[in-house]
Structure 1
């Protein structure tokens, strides 16, 4: 059969345009599970499969076998036929579908004039949004950026950040001190939302509002809502899930965009380690860039489940690229594997059960020395943190080759706030 059939083991995420003829038939029984978290991952895998066929093979047909109709629906393809069958005690569905070419989805940009008449107090913020949007437009279009920061507390009277995620807007209000009259704070918040809607020409349903305040302990991870609405945004070749309603953070740190894209550029054929990985966005970028193996470590089960969905959406399997729930420092002590490319973005502070609490300024030196034991000669560690007064331990510069990438790593939409993070490339001295 070798002359007629080609057999190959490869992940869906590594499928390229050249692999697909103009017309064809895809028959697949994608992974699906009985547990709720497995079903959610399967649903996002189907979403990734449907998107991939819509982009690369719109003239094909697809036959999918699955156990959950809601998961199959996530593929977003046009249904032609369906059969309900039994497999022992399990109910399965066989679907014949046609891919749906993706509709053009332009990310939001600021217009020249307000889309409706503004109250006078909202005009200064509209003018600043228009100025920022004009400054960023050429860069956004050239770099094909879908998620970005438009405004970050530029005006004292509007203490908010405005972030764009595709066709949705997140307005984050930084909680006013108790000395500010609550009614006055409410009015300013309303003006901020009004100015944002007018500048971007969006409906109320497209604007998500949050209030941020200083968090203690694990409060930053607590759930604020239970809407479970996730949106897909594209970053380079990766597609990433964000949630604009349920958590304090969205699942994607926008200021790390340049570093994630750099990881994608450098990852081909390499073993990648992501420590304090959050929702695994850097892992997805490494795999999209051709990494042969990726290991993702975080203490949060919720964020690792999110990371699993991110991997599934992009066609990568967690059995080949494990997600590890563990304290990073303890895991490093037990790890015997070597890596060529490592990304580490620890929190400023975190509580550890049974161990000393982690404080980045105090403990980063020991953490980096542990990481460097797992870094292959010729490899690189990208170390980042968002503690504004961070200073790298001086002895690290004597032991390793350290390159300060902070200025390079700040994207255009964050240059007005130059202290948002610090970033270093660290290599073995003899490389």
Structure 2
């Protein structure tokens, strides 16, 4: 069994650049099928979720190559509109292919998606949006059968949903007429998708606000685009530096996208300096408790940053209240943090973190992507050795995590869990 072996208690120092945003790359890859041509996508990290998306594109009949972080998709002649269950179950975001396939092929046949188990994450808003645009959807035997001629219309979301907004954008680009998405999600990744669609010749405006307008049915062509930096990876590195101590500069991220997180870290006692595309954080004293943290859609506090920040606040002084408003099962990392000495009490959607003087190394297992990041943050702050398993979750959203942290001075290696009793060594890239 693969594991990360961390010798904690060492401060971090240096500069690290974040890789491309997983949550931008996935809808952009789905969008590539809309245009009968070749698209080139830069800064596309070779994560397991990205690999799953590329396999879906290949199955549909696209020619796909990947060299480093550049992906080329030739969608000149897709021949299929179905996605097998084995590919859909690899990631939750696979449902994003619904709007793109239906828009290009006129029909789509997909199973319900997989991914991390974070509680109910219904795709009802996705399906309602597609139906509003004229798609006919039949749910049968765990599969979605979709067909119909799409037409631009007004789509009103009952609540902001990133995935549903993106799916509706992808379908609306192929729907003749004007589509207006009301109460749309405002995340930066949606702005990134708009940028790629525009590069393909689509008319999309308003991304980043609650109203997105698409003039659909325009001829599209392949586009070239660079994916934005991953703001959640940036938050993870900053949380690691806050927890372990030291001074770290994270580059390749827009500080405005993570201001709700950096403000909490500053309140907890870190020194934070924002630059044009970088954030520098230094921490040399125990962290303090913060004001209550309520996760919310952007521009609120991101749910994906909650686990690593919680891990950082476990060691220090004071108390912090977390209220998780997005996912019901977002506290699966709490029991594992408790193995390391954390004092966290959970009641429903509320978690109370009471800072403790020390954390200690332990054998822990990641149950989901961001929970795994929380365990890495805590292990870096803990005294002694931690062995973290469940790396398939981490690998969905973090590329070369151990190498990046190793360059900052962390003593972290990837190996078999049986290597727990062997000495660890620093890792460089």
Normalised by the size of structure 1, how large is the TM-score? 0.31
Normalised by the size of structure 2, how large is the TM-score? 0.32
Q: Which has the higher contact order (CA 8 A, sep 6+)?
A: 2
